[in-house]
Amino acid sequence: MGLYFRQLLSGQDYAVGDPIATQMVNFSYLLGDTETREAVVVDPAYSPEELLTALDEDGMRLTGVLATHHHPDHVGGQMMGFDLVGVADLLAKHPVPIHVQRSEAEYVTKVTGLSATDLTPHDHDDVLEVGDVAIRMLHTPGHTPGSQCFLVPDPDGDKLVAGDTLFLQGCGRTDFPGGDAGQMYHSLQQLASLKGNPTVYPGHRYTDAASAALDDVQRTNMVYKARDAAQFVDVFGG
């Protein structure tokens, strides 16, 4: 398998000079198969055209978009005072499937202005094949009702694209509309149980490191210090 994988930082690798992108330090990801040249982009907010240019320069062809959740700094659109470029702008020029978690679809349409028919909804543990790369889609509610992470197979060690569910330090906030600290606790435990010690690639760069092994994240991240769900909710429930 020839895995194509790029981690790009907003405000530095793309959307340079955009003050919101620079402040929010979002990551977007390019994933694909180097043999078939098929690729998807994860969370193309701020400047989707630049992300597609990066794909084109690498000789890759866009076949879809993966959305970790509906917040505008990940998919664009209007919410909480933000009005950002994102998947709607991409889709207008490049009609490809927008892959969302089923319970997140309604939120994505409200924020982005897309219709339900523009989205391809998925359930927990669905697998999306991009060429011969089989991406496992994990429903991880807590930050939003339909947050999802992507487990990407790699012979050198699997990669976990974790969105705003799990950062290298901390986790996504649960005090936004639709957030739920109890669900977040169980989602974090679900990720902790993944086999093979995948490398965690978060949705934001809140630490010096851009990625870390899941075992190291579990050992050092404060969200894994709670002894049970009740204590987690008390500490992180907002």
Give 226: exposed, middle or buried? Use CB within 10 Å, 0-12, 13-18, 19+.
Answer: middle
Kindly report the number of other CB atoms within 10 A of residue 143's CB atom: 26
Q: Are 140 and 193 in contact (CB under 8 A)?
A: no
As a whole number, the mean pLDDT across the chain is: 96
Q: 160: number of CA atoms within 13 Å, CB side? A: 30
Give the model confidence (pLDDT) of 83-104 as tens digits.
899 999 999 999 999 999 999 9
pLDDT of residue 81: 79
Helix spans in the chain (H): 19-24, 48-57, 72-75, 87-93, 105-112, 181-192, 214-220, 229-236
Which pair of structure tokens corresponds to residue 180?
């739920």
Instruction: Say how far apart CA 118 and CA 99 lie, in whole Å.
Output: 9
Whether the Cβ atoms of residue 147 and residue 141 lie closer than 8 Å to each other: yes
Closest CA to 12 of 3, 2, 21: 21
What pLDDT, on a 0 to 100 scale, did the predictor assign at position 1? Answer: 60
Query: Where along the chain do its domains lie?
Result: 3-236
Q: Which residue has 């955009």 as its token pair?
A: 18
Per-residue pLDDT of 12-54, as tens digits, reads 999 999 999 999 999 999 999 999 999 999 999 999 999 999 9
Residue with tokens 């000789």: 59
- Class for domain 3-236, per CATH? alpha beta
Q: What is the DSSP string of 95-149?
A: ---EEEEGGGHHHHHHHH---GGGEEEE-TT-EEEETTEEEEEEE-TTSSTT-EE
Whole-model pTM: value is 0.97
So which residues are the catalytic ones?
69, 71, 73-74, 143, 164, 204
